[in-house]
Structure 1
Amino acid sequence: MIKGKWILFCLCFLLPLQAQGSLPDRETPVVLAVRNVAPAVVNISAAYTETRHRSGFRDPFFDEFFRDFFEDGPEIRQQRTSLGSGVIIDGEKGYVLTNAHVVARGETITVTLENGSELPALLVGADTESDLAVLRIESNNSLPQAAMGVSRDLMIGEAVIAIGNPFGFSHTVTTGVISATNRHVRSNRHVFKRFIQTDASINPGNSGGPLLNIRGEVIGINTAIHARAQGIGFAIPIDRARRIAMDLIEHGMVIPLWDGLRSQEMDRDLAGYLGKGETEGLLVRNVEKNSPASRAGIRAGDVLSAMDGQPTTKMADYRELLEMMLPETPVRVDIIRKGKPLTLSMTLQSYPMERALDLPEKLMGIQAAEKPDSPRTVILTTIRKDSALDRAGARPGDRIRSLGEREITSLSDLHAALIRHRMDREVSLRIQRGNRVYTLTLPLES
């Protein structure tokens, strides 16, 4: 009798354990997503030599002050290594998408695959304003690649998965939900726009890794940019990342799209003055000849109300929509002309680089050149009389340090920065004369 009860007890105890250990019951969508994508997630190590001036101050603020005003002071050279994550987006060609700050200044970049293989990587291109970079690795074996999703239709509360290498722990998985979309986040001198906010933990080392939806598709690129964030993570939407990665692969830099429009925001006063009933939208002031807008049939005086189904009530919204569009792809444009709605199709183009050569003179009233005896140095050579820079006291020979959020080390940097800011009314400019660095807010000419 006792023996029979013991057998019954064992059966009652062991059978539930066997049921709990059944793999099919435990293979949740998260497990399947991670299993499919993990081989395409890589660890990135970027080694570089840091040169800084011996200021004697421990506060980074004073270090920067000392660097700007006393660049010829004693130097300290130190070996540094930055760690981060990345995701293979093209297994055939070996392209890896990551954050720009992960590989910034990297003299040697090493990518470690899930199986432990270490491969040297070449930097294809990086864009600090979006914090994205593309690397290329070569392997004798075929490389896995992650499936791309879309980020335009994300839902608040949607489950997400982050994979990366926080603090050097490879292939760490965290889960959470989307807390918000279209978040603007400030970090140092940069303002990152339209980020995905999630409560999935994203720590140093996670930067550059993928944010996945429950189907295992990449919907964002994680970035640990908020040093004091706890329980808050941010990711760059994949729609924007895909567009930027394409430019970096094809051109080595981001080429903003060109529409050929000069517009301004509408308000009640302007609408009343012009006799228009519309108070929301962008008033088209001018349309460039032979531009995408002119070929689409847009005219001066039209009010641009939506693009690709998204309202365009603010210039900032319109510019951010352009950042996510693809060149040579028709996009729906809703306008109001003489009080009547009209839908047109516009095919955007990458901004023609030959047009960029005239932007320094057109927008700033200057000509610039790379200094032959000083690498990575761009100086003013001509300043138009009565231009904003002339009135500010700038002189030929002054060095252009940065425009907007872009460091200027070549004429191509200057042209790329002006392409990006060409529709702005003003832009931040840092120039250097001798050991002094000046920061100006420069109005741009139309």
Structure 2
Amino acid sequence: MIKGKWILFCLCILLSLQAHAALPDRETPVVLAVRSVAPAVVNISAAYTETRHRRGFGDPFFDEFFRDFFEGSPGMRQQRTSLGSGVIIDGERGYVLTNAHVVARGETITVTLENGSELPALLVGADTESDLAVLRIESDTALPQAPMGVSHDLMIGETVIAIGNPFGFSHTVTTGVISATNRHVRSNRQVFKRFIQTDASINPGNSGGPLLNIRGELIGINTAIHARAQGIGFAIPIDRARRIAKDLIEHGMVIPLWAGLRIQEMDRGLADYLGKGEVQGLLVREVEKDSPASGAGIRPGDVLAAMDGQPVTKITDYREHLEMLMPETPVRLDLLRKGRSLTLSMTPRSFPMERAAALPEKLMGIQAAEQPGTPHGVVLTEVRKNSALDRAGVRPGDRIRSLGEREITSLSDLHAALIRHRMDREVSLRIQRGNRIYTLTLPLES
């Protein structure tokens, strides 16, 4: 009996030693990556007040009566909370990167760390067009931060890891692979471009959380779910997110890079007219004085064929390539000039704000001013005769309430919106006259 117990005891010891010896084999790269980055992943709670007005009884007459009768009344105020995730990108200064829609309506924002600590957060800046926002939290000690990776060299099929707060379950880890890159995703209001597509499970509450590679490096910000399918999630590439976060931290808004080029898409008719046959690319119409383009030696009449080796055939190709660059980063341009190929290097820089004041007149044919005591919109003081707005019936005294996705409350808002949309063919406007608000699409002038 004693001998049998001794054998059993030795067997238990042996199995225990084998289990401990096998532990390093179980520490896969995924385990190591999660262990390293998880402390930098946060849960975000944004509280806001929603006002609900009383409704009628389903009858159009009563609905209209109640709407008119209670217009301007406080209605029923209810406290709401939106939940999401975020990742600390600067532990020394306390900067957190997340989605703009997570904090869009937040009156108070609270960040919860992995250890359960709750810290109030301030919104540094948000950009609805990219769906990115930066928060700042205060801490007595340096916070953990996620190491930055790159997204320009992602490989289809490589393993990725998502960490977030789906359905309120904090620090949930899912894994998958990169299914595709450069995906365009349409939401209710706009099209988001060049997303990473992954089959890692991304559910409500994951928005704003990190997408990691197998090394534990931040390669994307999880942001969207395809509503009609399972196993499809999307993330904003970190190369773009890093650039936008830098602008939000330094300026509170995104300042698009400036090259100083006015370009036009080539079609068959234009190519034949210019004698360029089947050449594809973008025709340089104008080079602004003292701009990065003029300094690089680009001339009107040149055809821009590629940027950093990537063909450009549409203005969106040109614009999206600039959006991926960090300020003061050189870009290689392949050009055609009078039938000859040449390569130039240009270094775009942030759009000079001193040039922004001329954009309303240049692009829209208007002069505008802020009206003291009026928090909504800027007032048009002059509308150029025969301009697109003049032909649309807009006149002095009307107010611009929004341009594109940006609400306009000041001249600086108007300038920032025009800087962002200056290369677009057209832009949407909300114009207020008296108590009525109209929406129109405005073609921008060259």
TM-score (norm 2): 0.92
Q: CA deviation at 1:23?
A: 1.4
- Tell whether 2:357 aligns with 1:362: no
Cα separation, 1, equivalents of 2:10 and 2:314 = 70
Is 1:267–1:279's contact at 8 Å kept on the other side of the alignment? no
Q: CA deviation at 1:67?
A: 9.4
Q: CA deviation at 1:4?
A: 7.1
Cα separation, 2, equivalents of 1:347 and 1:235 = 28
Task: Indicate how the Cα distance of structure 1 residues 258 and 53 shifts in structure 2: closer, same or farther if over 3 A, else same.
Answer: farther
Task: Indicate how the Cα distance of structure 1 residues 250 and 421 shifts in structure 2: closer, same or farther if over 3 A, else same.
Answer: same
Matched to 2:280, the amino acid is E
Cα separation, 2, equivalents of 1:434 and 1:22 = 75
Matched to 1:284, the amino acid is V
Map Cα deviations across residues 360-395 of structure 1 (whole Å, 9 max, x no partner): 111111122233222243232221121111111112
Cα separation, 1, equivalents of 2:14 and 2:228 = 48
Q: CA deviation at 1:75?
A: 3.5
Is 1:86–1:97's contact at 8 Å kept on the other side of the alignment? yes
Q: CA deviation at 1:398?
A: 2.2
Is 2:225–2:232's contact at 8 Å kept on the other side of the alignment? no
Correspondence for 1:377: 377
Correspondence for 1:261: 261
Task: Indicate how the Cα distance of structure 1 residues 9 and 39 shifts in structure 2: closer, same or farther if over 3 A, else same.
Answer: closer
Map Cα deviations across residues 96-150 of structure 1 (whole Å, 9 max, x no partner): 1011111112121111111111111111111111110111111112211101111
RMSD between superposed Cα atoms in Å: 2.7
Q: CA deviation at 1:18?
A: 3.7
Correspondence for 2:116: 116
Correspondence for 1:319: 319
Correspondence for 1:413: 413
- Tell whether 2:95 aligns with 1:95: yes
Cα separation, 2, equivalents of 1:203 and 1:352 = 40
Cα separation, 2, equivalents of 1:124 and 1:209 = 18
Correspondence for 2:351: 351
Correspondence for 1:146: 146
Q: CA deviation at 1:74?
A: 5.9
Q: Which sits farther off after the overlay, 325-334 or 91-100?
A: 325-334
SS at match of 2:379: strand
Matched to 1:197, the amino acid is Q
Is 2:202–2:225's contact at 8 Å kept on the other side of the alignment? no
Is 1:370–1:376's contact at 8 Å kept on the other side of the alignment? no
- Tell whether 2:181 aligns with 1:181: yes
Cα separation, 2, equivalents of 1:370 and 1:55 = 36
Correspondence for 1:45: 45
SS at match of 2:276: coil
Is 1:110–1:119's contact at 8 Å kept on the other side of the alignment? yes
Cα separation, 2, equivalents of 1:73 and 1:302 = 60
Q: Which sits farther off after the overlay, 369-378 or 290-299?
A: 369-378
Is 1:243–1:325's contact at 8 Å kept on the other side of the alignment? yes
Map Cα deviations across residues 287-308 of structure 1 (whole Å, 9 max, x no partner): 1111000000001111111112
Is 1:160–1:176's contact at 8 Å kept on the other side of the alignment? yes
Is 1:187–1:225's contact at 8 Å kept on the other side of the alignment? no
Cα separation, 2, equivalents of 1:198 and 1:369 = 47
Is 2:183–2:196's contact at 8 Å kept on the other side of the alignment? yes
Q: CA deviation at 1:442?
A: 0.9
Cα separation, 2, equivalents of 1:444 and 1:73 = 39
Aligned-residue identity in percent: 86
Cα separation, 1, equivalents of 2:127 and 2:411 = 16
Q: CA deviation at 1:9?
A: 13
Matched to 1:168, the amino acid is G
SS at match of 2:441: strand
Matched to 1:41, the amino acid is V
Map Cα deviations across residues 184-217 of structure 1 (whole Å, 9 max, x no partner): 1111212111111111111111111100011110
Correspondence for 2:168: 168
SS at match of 2:283: strand
SS at match of 1:116: coil
Cα separation, 2, equivalents of 1:311 and 1:442 = 29
Map Cα deviations across residues 62-103 of structure 1 (whole Å, 9 max, x no partner): x9xx999x9746643221111111111111111110111111
Map Cα deviations across residues 255-287 of structure 1 (whole Å, 9 max, x no partner): 001100011122332212101145211111111
Correspondence for 1:426: 426
State how many pairs are aligned: 439
What residue ranges of structure 1 are gaps of 5+ in the alignment? none
Cα separation, 2, equivalents of 1:157 and 1:230 = 18
Correspondence for 2:335: 335
What residue ranges of structure 2 are gaps of 5+ in the alignment? none
Task: Indicate how the Cα distance of structure 1 residues 94 and 272 shifts in structure 2: closer, same or farther if over 3 A, else same.
Answer: same
Cα separation, 1, equivalents of 2:298 and 2:334 = 10
- Tell whether 2:424 aligns with 1:437: no
Correspondence for 2:83: 83
SS at match of 1:80: strand
